[in-house]
Amino acid sequence: MIGPVANCPSCASPIRFQWSGAVQTVCGTCKSIVVRHGVDLEKVGVVSEPPPVTSRVQVGTEGRYRGRAFSVIGRIAYGWERGAWSEWHLAFGDGTSGWLSDAQDEYAVTFAVTDVASLPQAGTLAPGQEITLVDEAPPYRVTTITRARYAGVEGELPFEYWGKDETPFVDLRSEAGRLATIDYSESPPLLFAGEVVPFGALELKNLRDPRQKTAEGTRTLNCPNCGGTVTVQRPGESVNAVCQYCQSVLDVGSSAGLKVLQRFAERMKVKPYIPIGARGRLHGADWDVLGFQQRTIRVEGVSYSWREYLLHTPERGFRYLSEYNGHWNDITVLTTPAKESPVGGKPGAKVNGKAFRHFQRSAAETTFVLGEFPWQVRVGDVAQVDDYVDPPLLLSRERTADEESWSLGEYTSGARLWEAFKLEGRPPFPRGTFANQPSPHAGAGRLWSTFLLLFAVLVAVFIWRVSTGSDHVLASSQAFDPAVEENVFVTEPFTVSGRTSAMKVELRTNVDNTWAAFDLALVDERSGTSRELPVNVGYYHGVEDGESWSEGSRNTSARLGGVPAGTYRLVVAPLGEAGAFTYDVKVTRDPPSGFLFLAALFLLVLPPLYVSLMSASFEHQRWMESDYPPATGDDDE
């Protein structure tokens, strides 16, 4: 792989190309940019100042990608209006080459694609637009459109690249996790495609010594607006910092020195709950709070503001915390875009197999900023934000004129963050209902399942009691004749045994358009005491205005509770309004209690019913804050 040694055309120092396909390199002695034409070398420029390194990767780093060993042999550094990134040139052991993109601690390996028929012209794409690069492959989605400037080179490159003007770049991502970049620095444009790769998966070695970065430490500067001290925690990486005294937004990424991007005569001050510079342990890593911003939306003339904290750890890059009215979210930026797709017939999106319902669209404006950022953040920045919810998750899409990004937040407790960052006091108490706040009344489904199981058991027990638990003591058929002076019926003595329990007396008559009354008396043969219980029946029917009607019943029953074992007689004294009628008497010992069954059913249904009603109320409050408020009675007025 290593090419022959030649001499620098500028200083005559020996130059050895490590990769046989390299066209351009930089002389390690005089920093001349040297281009190879066959066996001849030509000096085309000089590297004025090495661009700042934004990661531990350096020329000479070695690693593996999908089992293929590679060496980092060159780099192109880019800068754009709101940030910077590096493209590290990789030489693989099989003679091929690729690129390792390094942007804000996100790493992607890409390769040049030459079998694309045509690419869209510059200026014809917009964030969020879908395009198909290769037939039958999943479409890509435009995520970022950048006009980047050449910021410097080092090492070996497969083509000539120096001194170029601003060039449009279009970044694209697919739902399948693929990443692509259209480079318009040449005509026709170039296409590079690959994937985002975790830093640890690259098995990198010969990395830049982390102690070197530590030794660089923080950078202390004076604000050009007020003279106050500005401390930059990540010099060489942060491009944006805010003076804590006058809140001027400063460009700290320029080698020319600090530049004021925004200054304000009077500014409100928002105090972060988590201070800038605080360090907390989350997800098994230590995270530093680098930046803070307040963002505001306006709905029907009312402003609603929330706070966002930018966290960073060298091992995993960046993540966010957000807070609104005491509700917190732990947020990561997605490397693959979600797919907008209806959920339940309503607008939604899907990602990682999960479906989210669209909740709200708003225009979010940055209204306060503090700390530092690896990309420029200014007061007045506005982005269109679409939120989708599947509690406790919150899927968000932010779109500007040149960028679209997706992030996934998970609702978390303030107490957890207070503990992680060792903060004093208590977190703000959550107020209201938040979009992805988990319902405190969840679990209604499990409760209903349990209810159905217990209901089945209850019904089975009741049926068993009806069929086997009761004891039929006596049954007799009698007649009432008003012409007879004595119509009292006294049963033969009957004995009941066992525990003290209820006794049920049932009466079935044939009364018709009349009533009957019964004075019942249960007489204890041993003590002579009796328990009396009057009951009535009445049944009427007829036809009125051509409509049949009926009311009342021919049958009735009475229940005597607490009847101990013993020998009894039942005395039945009937009385009728007019005419004779017959009646059947049936006495049952220890009958099943329908009241107890209903009472048990009521107690069983209470928990799931209560949780369901509370959950419905909670969801009602949640969606009242959305673009899809539930209909209310007031809507009809």
DSSP per-residue codes, 478-510: EEE-TTSS---EEPPPEEE-SSSEEEEEEEEE-
| pLDDT at res. 264 | 65
pLDDT in tens, 360-384: 999 999 998 888 887 778 888 999 9
Low pLDDT (below 50) residues in the chain: 214-215, 636-637
Q: Which residues contact 83 (CB under 8 A, 6 or more apart)?
A: 103, 104, 239, 253, 374, 375, 376
| pLDDT at res. 270 | 85
Q: What is the pTM of this model?
A: 0.75
| pLDDT at res. 576 | 87
CA 299 to chain centre: 23
Q: How far apart are CA 624 and CA 604, in angstroms?
A: 32
Contact indicator for 409, 394 with CB cutoff of 8 Å:
yes
Query: Collapsing DSSP states into helix, strand and coil, what is residue 232?
Result: strand
Q: How far apart are CA 166 and CA 187, in angstroms?
A: 14
pLDDT in tens, 403-446: 999 999 999 999 999 999 999 999 999 999 999 999 988 888 89
Q: Which residues contact 159 (CB under 8 A, 6 or more apart)?
A: 23, 24
What value does the CA radius of gyration of the chain take, rounded to a whole number of Å? 42
| pLDDT at res. 637 | 45
Helix axes 594-624, 444-464, angle to 10 degrees: 170
| pLDDT at res. 52 | 59
E strands, 81-218, in order? 83-92, 97-103, 106-113, 130-131, 140-155, 167-174, 178-183, 190-196
Q: How far apart are CA 374 and CA 372, in angstroms?
A: 7
